[in-house]
Structure 1
Amino acid sequence: MAPPPRRRERPVRTLVTLAVLIVALFASIFAGTRWGDASLTPNLALDLEGGTQIILQPVPEAKGDVTAETINQAIAVIRQRVDASGVAEAEITSQGGDKIVVGLPGRPSEETLDLVRTSAQMEFRPVLVMGAAAPTADPTADPATDDAAPSDQPTKAAPDSPSDVAYYVTPAVQKEFEALDCTLPENRTGGVPGDPEKAVVACDVEGTAKFILGPVEIPGADIKSATSGTGATSTGASTGQWVVNLEFTGAGTPKFTEVTTRLAGQGTAPLNQFAVVLDALVISAPSVNEVIPNGQAQISGSFTRETAATLANQLNFGSLPISFEEQSVQQISATLGSEQLQKGLLAGVFGLLLVVVYSLFQYRTLGLVTVASLLVAAVITYGVIALLSWVQGYRLSLPGVAGIIVAIGITADSFIVYFERIRDELRDGRSLGAAIEKGWERARRTILASDAVNFTAAIVLYLLAVGGVRGFAFTLGLTTIVDLVVVFMFTHPLMVLLGRTRFFADGHPASGLDPRRLGVDVARYAGRGRVKQGVEQRTGSASAREPVAVGAPGLTIAERRAAARAAGTASAPPQDPPTTTDDEPTTGRPEGSDR
């Protein structure tokens, strides 16, 4: 049975496709500079560009002390606001255990600064309407300015309760709810609490749902404590499900009893739910199944250990609302970061030169393929980072630069693996075209496995780290992907084309594929059933000519037959021509025939 035909490679088409993608990448950036706010250079982070530093002093609004847990929760709230507003590489840390330092790169807008300064508040509101996160109406319509905007006046003189939908869900509120798109990060920045006496429209933290909420019934200050753990039955046996146990203060207990009495009587969702609102975002919306008279509630659901602990910490933060007193706002320079960047770039250039020198020394002209591949990888990486700076607000930090420098070694390693595989195949006696094809099949698996490990490590580091370390992980993962693109769409197709040239196919001494330098010890196939004999093999300081090994590995059928004939001709001693007598029949071939 004949083997399946090999797919014909089209290296020129692959190279043209890569060139089109690169042109499209930079064309989009150029278009952004002309018709948008894009820049030809990537945005830089705080350590490289400088920016604004704000020092906040948390001040408790209720009786109590500002604890480390309160500071950490406040930092988490501020970080969520800043990240959702599109500002990348912000530095938010605690100072002295009782202050919060916020560093924003570049020149942040006044809206971003207001998000940082605004106090975080927790409140309990009844759920009036709940829907999908996507908008169901034109999101550009503004009910506050549209001449045809519906009225914001209630249809009743007074509400029957905070859950009165007819009173609180006015046409204007309904239209705002329909136009809200909670899938957009900018609509989940929080930080602006609504009027406590009116209905508000809010998104959940994850951007999976949106709500119309009634007025505030219980403030966060009425929470005494919150803990996470596994639930228990009435007999005390563990259910194995993670829950959050909530306890209210003496002032909050009667309020919560009244709320649960009314919500438990509603019967159906979402009117039997109350929303826990932190920083103007819904962090939980549990339903009420029964009246809770003692101020001790249990929130259950599809919690894990981590999500239950997170909700408990957020509820504890709500038990001590704090405001921020702005101590100082100053512009900070990037002098130290600039010096470190110069040294980092110098180290990167020096490392790149070492890779180039090694490639040219080890692979001769073939090393130029490494240089060209590194240049293509650098161009693609620069273009992608510039595009992300415009589209996603990404900022390049000093750890990010370190990730790019590390990628030089990762990219060079892929080329070395590929080239060495090709040279191994040449040592087995294959022609250059066959060596490139077979070497690529073997090197491809190694490159994919190596880059998969690097990319997995980058993902894990990005998910577990914060701040500048995430910048390192991001660029490491990005350059790993770029490495695969360059090897598959540039290096390999270029090698296929070079393999068709006489300079490389004939093993020119300067090509890096010289058979004598590689120590090839078998004849090379010359076509038409012929092999080139006398290929030199290095043995110490001298070289010797040896005959073809008939059983050498890596030979095709035609090569083996030619080698067998050559070996037979070289080793057979001359013999006299056969003679015949009258008593013996002649069985030889006609004179002049070689068959």
Structure 2
Amino acid sequence: MLRRVIGLLIVAGIAWGGLAAVYLLDIEPKLGLDLQGGTSVVLTAPDDTDPDVMEYAVEIMRSRIEDVGGVQEPEISISGGTTVLVQLPGVQNEQQALDAIGRTGRLSFRPVLESTPGLQGPLVTTTTTEPPAGEEDAVEESASTTATTVATTTTTAILADTPEGVDPISGLTVSDDPDTVAYLPNFTLFGMEVLTVGPAAMTGSDVSQALPGFNSVSAQWVVNLSLTSEGGDLFAELTGEAAAYPIGDPRRQIAIVLDGQIIASPQVAEDVAAGVGITGGDAIITLGADPAAEDQAQNLAVILRYGSLPVAFERSQVEKVSATLGSDSLRIGLISGIAGLVLVAVVLLLYYRSLGLVAVLGIAVFGSLLIAIYALLGHYQGVTLTLAGVTGIIVAVGITADSYIVYFERIKDELRAGRTVPSAAAQGFRTAFRTILTADTVSILGATLLWLLTVGAVRGFALSLGIATVLDIFVARAFTRRAAWVLAHSPLGRKGWFSMPAAAGESR
């Protein structure tokens, strides 16, 4: 008797002590973005993408997000071989974060060949014609003045022989190949221009380090660039050619291009010698002193440091959840869960009487262990509890309640067959546990398949269902069996309206 009571107290102590420990240490379950707000993105790579390439791409995404900042513990994981799930809970600058993880293609440094003001590439010609003098489109007269408006007709020539990847109307490159000439828009402080850039002279793999900084001498934000040995030689050649042109000439610029977009187009400094370039493998990119320059330096350093993704991803799904909606979902989930637990407890107590007390205590142990496990997994492994996970837990509570019902019904059958209360409790568990174990094994297999074959919220459901089902087996074996045995040997379980025989309809 004493040994079983001690075992019962140990299990209860582990559950409730663990819950108290995580509370005192201020370790809480890590909430997913659907419970605290944020953005979820599902990215899909081509079917034949190598697993090593996928791992490398995920590492680049993770590094970019960490450097962007403003995201509370992002979660980036591979599912199904070629699918990447990116969860950004509490993200502050959503578009910046999406750009950081979604940019693909190839980072390249390219010479600028020409600059064309406006919104159209240099291959598009524009002609402007005016009606002959005297032809008026509109005349407005008043008592003292007469205003005449003359119409102007503008005709844009569409390219007859369009180079591959160039839009025939705008003359801009829409499908950039870093190995060919491209016509790319560039936004400056003075307006819009189109830069004609040559083939890539070097790529992101030639950059070994890029760090943002503030130059206290010039009072400007800069990016300190370090290059590999080969990259240093290529950069010296590229800047040496650009330095042959005078200051202010667009051909003195170097275009930094990522995924067909000009990220920056710095001009080679005046003191750089033509034909020599910037040598030594180090360079400084100056971005200015205005308030936006700091963010520009941070973003440019991230792009230069981590380059581009090694594979092109397609955004299969983008889901956004506001912080208010997330907190409302959490509140509703908690209310639903508590209401369900109270209802289950009342029904079990009314129908199974003292055995219902065993079920209530067992569910309390089960819930305490589950909360403690999720808190520890979130703190040490980054596992998040999502709304789908809460749903899985609620389903698992139903499975746990069903396990108690199976056990209690077996006890009632044994009592009706004439067994004593202690014997009915022991034999009932031996018979019921096989059924409980079989049912829970099926649930665990289903949860495992869901985890392996799905992505997104379904995996959260599978994880919580799997953890809770394993806990159900543990609690049934370690706690419920001992609690029922102790109850069967106590007056509360053997005599009176609240006893086990009374629940079975037997009067003893």
TM-score of the aligned structures, taking structure 2 as reference length: 0.50
Tell which has more relative contact order, 1 or 2 (C-alpha 8 A, sep 6+).
2
Greater Rg by CA:
1
TM-score of the aligned structures, taking structure 1 as reference length: 0.43
